[in-house]
Amino acid sequence: MSGWIKCSDRLPEEIKADYLIVCESGEVALSEYVYDDTEGWGFWYDPYATHWMPLPSPPTE
């Protein structure tokens, strides 16, 4: 399992903002998902995002 999740299957629920690097046709772009927990909705700034992955935990040292 690669850890990537299809946006059509599930979107982040507990994340305020998350970033995703998208590689398409040799180009690299930055996408952002923003979730509003007070309103219960979220959206992608880049409409071409197809997959996302939770960020790893930060280092402890």
pLDDT 10s digits, 41-52:
776 666 567 777
**Residue with more model confidence, 56 or 22:** 56
pLDDT at 46: 62
CB atoms within 10 A of CB 60: 4
Question: For tokens 């990537």, what's the residue?
Answer: 4
Helices (H), 1-61: none
pTM score over 0.75:
no
pLDDT surpasses 60 at 20? no
pLDDT at 12: 75
- What are the distances in angstroms from CA 4 to CA 19, 21, 35, 47? 13, 12, 19, 17
Q: Which residues contact 21 (CB under 8 A, 6 or more apart)?
A: 28, 29, 30, 31
Compute the average pLDDT of residues 26-50.
66
